Amino acid sequence: MTRQAIVAANWKMNGNLSLVKEMVSGLKQVTLASNVNVVVCPSFPYLAAFSAESAEQSLSATICLGAQNMSEQQSGAFTGEVSSEMLTEVSAKYVILGHSERRTLYKESSTLVASKVTKALEAGLIPILCIGESEEERISDQTETVLASQIQPVIDAIGIEKFSGVVIAYEPVWAIGTGKTASPEMAQETHAFIRQYLANESQKIAQKVPLLYGGSVNRGNFEQLFAQTDIDGGLIGGASLNVDEFSVICSAAKGQ
């Protein structure tokens, strides 16, 4: 079964209008393999600018806009929050949910993340559901338990069939922004567990869900990671702020 490959850029709280223009111009020159989508997720203030610049430069439809987060609420007195409808209005197609920084710094629970996934799907957005364990949890052999505890609330909330519209990004917390990276073999083993966990609910759906690896992915390690059977692309942090490096990573992605 063919699965879509996805390379997603998470700029976090970085970037500016100049980078928006530079990124759109750079990605316009990239030749993507068939069945590959690129997703760029700038901070909220730059979503509309990226959308407008993409339209002006006639960027390929396979290069999409994504947001880094959204509210589980639809509207109302929630100062500082952004709804799914607001994201779709600026032509966002994807949204990152449950990133470890949201879980740890802002105390977002897996139940809250599941609510956000539900709301995103209702709005026609594609959630990039982030899961991952800490270094302590990896050392104490709790990785699979932790990942299951982050996936199951979403299954309970939306049902396994709707996972056909979900992307999962495995990001070991200990590898995010640290320069440490899971070995290709370790990453593959964990991705295989995630796919099997989904397969316990539905083999058919499990084979459709794109699984991404995130955690210090860069020019030096992406080829080995992307070559693994169950890794369908990456969620790229720091390297996505460098147009040349990100373009190289995107051009090498291949659909399974």
Judged against a pLDDT cut of 80, whether residue 76 lies above it is answered with: yes
Select from 191, 178, 177 the least CA-distant residue to 225: 191
Region class of 63: left (phi > 0), else alpha (psi between -120 and 50), else beta: beta
User: What confidence score (pLDDT) does residue 215 get?
Assistant: 87
User: Tell me, what DSSP letter sits at residue 165?
Assistant: G
158-163: average pLDDT: 98
- Write the pLDDT tens digit of every residue in 99-140: 999 999 999 999 999 999 999 999 999 999 999 999 899 999
Judged against a pLDDT cut of 90, whether residue 89 lies above it is answered with: yes
User: What confidence score (pLDDT) does residue 181 get?
Assistant: 76
Known binding positions for substrate: 10-12, 177, 216, 237-238
User: What confidence score (pLDDT) does residue 177 get?
Assistant: 74
User: What confidence score (pLDDT) does residue 115 get?
Assistant: 98
- Residue whose structure tokens are 């369908």: 232
pLDDT band at 15 (very low <50, low <70, confident <90, very high): very high
Judged against a pLDDT cut of 90, whether residue 179 lies above it is answered with: no
Mean pLDDT over the full length of the chain: 95
Q: How much is the pTM?
A: 0.96
User: What confidence score (pLDDT) does residue 1 get?
Assistant: 55
User: What confidence score (pLDDT) does residue 154 get?
Assistant: 98
List phi, psi (to 5°) of 72: -85, -5
Judged against a pLDDT cut of 80, whether residue 240 lies above it is answered with: yes
Number of H helices, E strands in the chain: 11, 8
- Residues β-bridged to residue 152: none
User: What confidence score (pLDDT) does residue 210 get?
Assistant: 97
Report the Cα–Cα distance between both ends of the chain, in Å, rounded.
8
Distances (CA, A) of 98 to 11, 71, 111, 117: 15, 11, 10, 9
User: What confidence score (pLDDT) does residue 256 get?
Assistant: 60
Known binding positions: 10-12, 177, 216, 237-238
Residue 47 near residue 67, CB atoms below 8 Å: yes
Q: State the catalytic residues.
A: 99, 171
* Segment holding 65, helix H or strand E: strand 63-67
Tell me the two tokens of residue 20.
């928006």
Written out in words, the top-level CATH class of the domain with range 5-252 is alpha beta
Residue-range domain boundaries for the chain: 5-252
pLDDT higher at 146 or 179: 146
Cα–Cα distance for residue pair 227/245, rounded to 1 Å? 18
